[in-house]
Chain A
Amino acid sequence: MRAVEAIRRANQSGPPENSVLLRAACLGTVLVAIAACADMGEVSWATALGAMSLACLGMAFSYVTRSRPPGWIKILVAVGASGAFAWFFHAVSAPVGGITSVVNPLTVLLVSVLAVHSFHVPSRRDLLFSLGASAGLMGVGAAQAIQLRYGLFVLVWVFFSLWTLTEMWSSTSGGGRISATGLISAIAALTVTAAAIFLVLPAPVVAAKFNFLAQAGLGGFVGVPGGLAGDSGSPTQPSRAGSPQGPTRVGGYLGFADSLDTALRGKLGSTTVMLVRVQRPSYWVGKTFNQWDGENWTATLSSPHPLSQRSPFVLPVPEGNNLFGQSDLQTFYVVTSTADLVFHAESADQLWFPASKVFYANDGTIVSPIGLGSGAIYTVESQVTSPNPAQIRSATGQAALPLKSQSAYIQLPHPYARVHALALSITAGAQTNYDRVQALIAWIGAHTHYSTDIPPLPAGADTVDEFLFGNRVGFCEQISTSLAVMLRTLGIPAREAVGYVPGPYNPITDLYEIRADDAHAWVQVWLPASGWQSFDPTAVVPLANPAPGTIALADIGRVLARIPLIPAGTFVFGAALMAACVRWRRNRPPTWAGRIARRVERAGRRAGHPRRPNQSLGEYAMMLDTATGSGSATWRVLASVLEASAYGGLEPSSQTRRSLIAMVRRNGIRRRTVSLGTQKWAVQDSNL
């Protein structure tokens, strides 16, 4: 019986809530949360608009029936909520394809429950539940939010939440209102607390085996199965070489095709191509090339073959790669149409992709059968091996590279005698292949410069010869090609890899933003005991003839890029706001009389009547009264109360204070100019 009584008590509604403002603010949180989820695509706009209309209707109904809610409404709410739960369990019991298959039904469930529940919110406690549920809905929306635009919804929702809570206090206290200073202080303290927690807590990271997102975007089918869209970015156009006549299109890096022309580097622009959520940043490879002809790289060793499975695709181990490494889960959100290459960290072993098949080449290249248009999402899991130099040097055992492949990866179009001699001289003291690679990279870093602003190479010229023995200025394709060719002259297997490097990191969305000009080329070197290892010689190459200011700016930019600007800025802003409040409070006279006296002086000063040092407040007030010429003794009355308070300890009541100030405002603000002897006095602004 006691338990039944406890349950009855727990379910008992509180007193009816009469505040319309509280209901309006609470409804605002619900509407914003539903709109946020709709904007993030977790619930359709039609559903969202329907739910928002229901929530408005329900809240109005609840207000009208708050004193005596009809009995049937509880049954209706219970049936509605049960139906929503039943639908949710039915939806999530379907074959799971990723987190979206749970999150989206969960969003619909929460939206439904919020809409239904709004028909029965008679009391303050019910409104508090609505506020909490809207917070949950915002959280569900945030779990998949990948855009900063979501911050707008968060800001609006926080505004409505704070409004709800302050209205709740007003309702609880029978009309209590927080002063503007108190509210600003509370918001400042809240901001500082939230920002401090954000800064102190470790950044959110993707847990392995949790996010398996895959979603088709706006791209269509590629014309040639397994073919590459190349620089066009169009899924219907097969691979083609870049054009020297003009800049390439957004996302249309020349290397994302069957061949890579090292004589050209188009202006790719800084448009965001993809957003990537990863456990650790890495170079995301799209394709590798093995055949070098002096100007172009081509992939001749293996052509992509179809893998017909259901997602997730289990990918074969790339030729020469290790079987085991550290799991690295990457989710790519395509923003702008890009090449149909499936980018991934090296040694991908599983792929969640919204298609019935993908094309796979032995070098690890993955080609999509559909165009990667805006909105496409796919997830890759790689087994990344990142051995340190000591591990590479001490590694034993010989991983086998097929003979055919071995010869293909040391292929050269001609002997490169000068290059060979240079490579030999640079690597004279190196003991291992790894040391040779490092020596060559160090030499490149010391003797070459990076620039994309160079004229095209002369027709028939060899890129490597021109770069190493010309002015030694070039871009990443030329720098990496030079390293690859130097290694090949030494008999070390090497190949050219193209893909994307991580762009700027956004700590709020936990996403790397890949821009079109983040397309990059680097070298993969075969190390017998470690397999294919990536080396980026461009990373150590300084900019060609950089201005000192540019270097300084670049350094500052790098430093700033490491600071999470939004939370840090919020923290600084909040701290500054608090400091300003504290300073203001310190400088503020401690008593009401002191504060008002100061304001009287300020008002008089503005009106051209500064208070003289030897003037008592009463005398000063008399002067102000004379100056206004109204004949009223407004200022004297005020001064007498202030002096009685300051020196006599006779504190006026709050009501008296308010009426005094109202009187002064009523009589003192009027603009008036009077002649007083030879002087003209103008008291025009009491500003009290």
Chain B
Amino acid sequence: MPVSAMILVIWWLVAHNSGSGWVQAIGDVAFGTLTIGVVGPSVVLFRAKVRIVSAPNDATVGLPMEVLVDASTRLRVRADPPFDGEGLVGPGGRRRTADARITLVPQRRGVHDTLTLDIATAAPFALQWWSRRIVLPLPSALHVAPRRGRPHVLPVQPHEDAHVSVARAARDTGEPRGARPYRPGDNRQQVHWRATAHTGEMMVRELERPSAGPVTLTVTLPRDPEEAERVAERALATIVLLLDKGTSVLLATREASGQVLAPVSDRRGGGRRLARAVAGTGSSDQFGQIAVSP
């Protein structure tokens, strides 16, 4: 801008010393163009109408998600933290087709009802960019689940020995419900000899599943956001591991409304719970812990 101002001053001096009104006329047009080029984008930005047409309900930290944005004019859109990503939206191109899709990458878990965007334009002359921060409501709440980290080390169950795989143990535990014919792969220790003798064919015990009671996972997030992210990642990984093992999971977290203890049936549910989770209260030595019981 200082250079432009200097050029205009020189121009004006030349106009007023050469005596030619044409120089002044061209200088005035140039000044007018610069003025409109510099001020114009602010007007365009002020009048721009932007809304989010659709957004996913669930997302995961670090994984891209797409948001459909409807803009009345061509805009450069950049997401503010905790999202990352930018794109051009609004009518454009020779056929005036609208670009509406921008790809965002969440940087942190959480629940979002709104999206904060930096919208910018340099219309009409591309001489100066103006930007404005706007907060747009999302059509529905967006749950950003944590990444899946390394799972918490689960305690070995009493019926498990160290050399039995987790999958095997899960299958071979529980209360006897009855007997059924033997199928290849059944544990020979489960053979029901009395029934075998009675029926004349190989019978095995059928165990009632789940053989074990639900596992309660208590997640206490620390106050440090980065550390809380790590803890949430591990908690999600643990939940997924438990669910894969067929274990019912009761997840205890602290949310904005208070302490919540509720079952988690699938990964998405776990992700949503952890997205809503907030840092715990109380003594700081309990923070950052994942407690599995029993």
Interface on A for B, CB 8 Å cutoff?
Answer: 99, 135, 138-139, 141-146, 150-151, 154, 158, 161-162, 165-166, 168-179, 182-183, 186, 189-191, 193-195, 197-198, 201-207, 210-211, 277, 506-510, 567, 651, 653-655, 658
Any chain A CB within 8 A of the CB of B249? no
Which residues of chain B have C-beta atoms less than 8 A from A179's C-beta? Answer: 73
B183 at the interface (CB under 8 A from A): no
* A190-B32 Cα distance, complex, nearest whole Å: 5
Please state if A202 and B29 are interface contacts (CB–CB under 8 Å). no
CB <8 Å contact, A205 and B123: no
- Minimal beta-carbon separation of A687 from chain B (angstroms): 19
Q: Check B122 against A150 for contact (C-beta < 8 Å).
A: no
Q: How far is the CB of B52 from chain A (nearest CB, A)?
A: 11
A672 to B33, CA, bound (A): 49
Which residues of chain B from 112 to 145 have a CB within 8 Å of any chain A CB? 121-127
Q: How far is the CA of A141 from the CA of B25 in the complex (A)?
A: 12
Q: Name B15's closest neighbour in chain A (CB-CB).
A: A204
B200 on interface, CB distance cutoff 8 Å: no
Chain B residue nearest to A183 in the complex (CB): B124
| Cα–Cα, bound, A422→B29 (Å) | 60
B29 touches A158 (CB 8 A): yes
Question: B187 within 8 Å of A by Cβ?
Answer: no
The answer to whether B194 has its CB under 8 Å from any CB of chain A is no
**One of B20, B93, B125 near A144 (C-beta < 8 A):** B20
Known A135-B30, A158-B29, A162-B33: A198·B24 in contact at CB below 8 Å: yes
Separation in Å of the B211 CB from the closest CB of chain A?
Answer: 52
Min CB distance, A204 to chain B, in Å?
Answer: 5
A165-B125, A175-B92, A182-B123 known, 18 other contacts, Cβ within 8 Å: A139-B23, A162-B33, A172-B126, A173-B74, A173-B126, A175-B74, A177-B92, A178-B124, A189-B40, A190-B36, A191-B32, A193-B36, A194-B28, A204-B24, A206-B19, A207-B17, A567-B25, A654-B98
Residue of A nearest to B10 (CB): A139
Do B16 and A204 have beta carbons less than 8 Å apart?
yes
Please pick, from B37, B91, B93, B97, the residue contacting A165 in the complex, using a CB distance under 8 A: B37
**Alpha-carbon distance between A342 and B91 when the two chains are bound, in angstroms:** 65
* Residue of A139, A141, A173, A182 touching B14 (CB-CB under 8 A): A139
B interface, CB within 8 angstroms of A: 11-12, 14-33, 35-37, 40, 44, 51, 53, 68, 70, 73-74, 76, 88, 90-94, 96-100, 121-127
Residue of A nearest to B98 (CB): A654
A186 touching B100 by the CB < 8 A rule? Answer: no
| Residues of chain B contacted by A151 (CB below 8 angstroms) | 22, 25
Please, which residues of chain B bring their CB within 8 A of the CB of A202?
A: 16
A194 to B29, CA, bound (A): 5
Give Cα A168–Cα B96 distance, bound, in whole angstroms. 17
A143-B20 in contact given A175-B93, A204-B15 (Cβ < 8 Å):
yes
Residues on the B chain within 8 Å of A567, using CB? 25
Residues of A within 8 A of B23 (CB): 139, 142-143, 204
Minimal Cβ-Cβ distance residue in A for B24? A204
The answer to whether B98 and A193 have CB atoms under 8 Å apart is: no
Task: State A450–B31 Cα separation when bound (angstroms).
Answer: 48
Q: How far is the CA of A190 from the CA of B28 in the complex (A)?
A: 9
Residues of chain A with a CB closer than 8 A to B93's CB: 175, 177
In whole angstroms, how far apart are the Cα atoms of A658 and B70 in the complex? 13
Q: Is the CB of A173 within 8 A of B76?
A: yes
Known A-B contacts A173-B88, A176-B92; A201 and B24 likewise in contact (beta carbons under 8 Å): yes
Give every chain B residue within 8 A of A201 (Cβ-Cβ). Answer: 12, 24, 28
Judge whether B19 and A172 touch: CB under 8 Å.
no
For the complex of A and B, the 3 pairs showing the least CB-CB separation, nearest first, are: A176-B74, A142-B22, A194-B32
